[in-house]
Amino acid sequence: MNFELIENERIGEKYYRLHHRSGLTIIVYPKEGFNSTYALIGTNFGSLNNHFIANGREITVPDGTAHYLEHKLFESEEGDAFTQYAKTGALANAYTSFEKTCYLFSCTERFGESLEILIDLIQSPYFTPETVAKEQGIIGQEIKMYDDSADWRVMMNLHQAMYHNHPINIDIAGTVETIAGITPEILYDCYNSYYNLNNMVMCIAGNVSPDEVLEIADRKLKDSSAFNTESIFPEEPYEVKSNYTEQRLPVAVPMFCLGFKEKADNKQPVSIKEGICTDILLEAFANESSSLYRKLLDKKLINSTFDANYLGGLGYRAVVFEGETYSPSEVAEYIRDEVIKLKENGISQEDFEIAKRSLYGRTVSIFDSPSAIASNVISLEFLGNTVFDLLEETANVTLEDVNERLKDQLDPDNYSLSVIKGIDD
C-alpha cells in the first residue's frame, strides 16, 4: 500500500494520506526540525449521536454515553492504557466533543511503542457490569465539577435556551441520572456502530516518517468491513426556545452568552467556506480593533474577556458573543442594535481586508504546531476536506462571499441571552 502525497505550493507544506486496507484513514504529516511527535485518532461519534440506526436497527442511548465510552476504552483485560503509556514516557489523553471522540499522545522517544498502545486501545473494548459500574462515581464527580463551572454553565444554559429538541442542548457528560442507565451492552452497541475503522481517522504529525507508521499499521490494525450507521436528529424550529435564562453561581463578575440562532440542516454540515465567511465577519465586527468592541469598552460594558465565535454542525448553527459584564441585558441590546446596522450596511472593503489577513495568518500558524495540525486534519477529514482546503478557501474568499453569508446570519429577533450572576447579586 502506498501513501498519496498531498502538497500545497502556497506555503510549501506537504503530508501523506492513505486509506488503509483495515478501513482506517491515516495521515502522516512530517515536520522537519521537530523533536516531538503528536498522534491523534478520532471517531465521528460525539455526545450528539444519542439516536441512530446501525445496520437497520434503531438505537437510543442515555445522554453522556459517548463520553462514558471514551473513559472505559482506556481499560482492557491487560490493564489500564495510561499505565502502559507511563512506561514509554508518552503523555496521553482523550476528549469527547459534541461531534467526535479523540484519543491522543505526544512523545519525544519510543514513538512506535506508544502508537501500538493507541491502536490496541481503540481496537480492544472490554466492558463488564463491574467495570462499567465502577466508572459511574468517577464520571459523576466530573459532572458535578462542570455543574459548578460558570464558564461551562453559561454556555450550556444558552444552548438549552436556544434549542427545543436538538441534543446540542444536552451536556456532553450527561447527568448523574442518565449515566446510571449505561450498561456494557449499550457501550458495545455504540462501539460497534461508531468505532468501526471506516468511521475513524488517524493523524500523526511532527518527528515521524510514513514508512514507520505503515509498518506498525500493517502489523497491528485489524481489517474491518464497512458498517452502516446513520445518526438521527429531531426536527428543530427556527425560533429560539427562550430569550433569557439566568443562573446564580459564585462569580466575581456576571457572565453572559448571547446567541443568534440560524437555520440548520440535519444532513448538511457547515461548509469550509461558510465557516470562513463567518470567521471573517466576526473578526471585522467584534474583534479588539472593531468599532463594536471599542464602544462597549468605552462604555465600561465589557472587559478583555469579550469574544465572538461560531457554533455550527448538523442541525444547529448560531453566532455567539460572550464575556463578563455588570450589565448583561444592556450589552445584549447594544449588540443587537449594532447587528441591525451591520445587516443594513454589510462589512466594508477595508474591514474585510484587515479581517481576512488576520484570519489567514492564524490559519497559516496551524502548520507550526503538530497538535493543531492533527486536530484540524481530523475535523476536516470528517467533512471530506483537507487542511489545505482550509488554507485555499481562506485565501480566495471575497467580500461578496462574506456579505452574502451575512444574509443568513445574525437575525436580531432570534436570539437568546444566558447570564450567570453572583450568589449575592
Convert the pLDDT of each residue in 185-205 to its tens digit: 999 999 999 999 999 999 999
pLDDT band at 89 (very low <50, low <70, confident <90, very high): very high
Phi and psi at residue 400, in whole multiples of 5°? -60, -40
Residue 189 CA to residue 187 CA, distance in Å, equals 5
pLDDT of residue 125: 94
Q: What is the pTM of this model?
A: 0.94
pLDDT band at 26 (very low <50, low <70, confident <90, very high): very high
pLDDT at 226 over 90: no
pLDDT band at 276 (very low <50, low <70, confident <90, very high): very high
pLDDT band at 415 (very low <50, low <70, confident <90, very high): very high
pLDDT of residue 6: 96
- Residue 46's Cβ-count burial label (10 Å; 0-12, 13-18, 19+) is buried
pLDDT at 372 over 80: yes
Catalytic residue, from 4, 7, 9, 70: name it.
Answer: 70
Give yes or no: 288 in active site. Answer: no
pLDDT at 1 over 80: no
Q: Nearest-CA neighbor of 321 among 342, 351, 345?
A: 342
* 131, 72 contact by CB (below 8 A): yes
pLDDT at 411 over 80: yes
Domain residue limits, the chain? 4-231, 244-421
pLDDT of residue 198: 93
* 53, 253 contact by CB (below 8 A): no
pLDDT 10s digits, 304-329? 999 999 999 999 999 999 999 999 99
Q: What is the mean pLDDT of residues 343-357?
A: 96
Contacts (Cβ under 8 Å, ≥6 apart) of 49? 66, 99, 194, 231
Q: Which residue in this structure is represented by grid cell 453572559?
A: 256
pLDDT at 364 over 90: yes
DSSP-derived letter for residue 168 is G
pLDDT band at 9 (very low <50, low <70, confident <90, very high): very high
Q: Nearest-CA neighbor of 280 among 380, 162, 122, 404?
A: 404
pLDDT at 15 over 80: yes
Answer whether 4-231 and 244-421 agree in fold. Answer: yes
Phi and psi at residue 411, in whole multiples of 5°? -70, 115
**Helices 349-365/399-406 angle, 10° precision:** 100
pLDDT of residue 2: 86
Q: Nearest-CA neighbor of 26 among 214, 208, 180?
A: 214
Query: Domain 244-421 in CATH: superfamily?
Result: Metalloenzyme, LuxS/M16 peptidase-like (3.30.830.10)
Spelled out in words, what is the top-level CATH class assigned to the domain 4-231? alpha beta
Kindly report the average pLDDT of the chain as a whole number: 95
pLDDT at 79 over 80: no
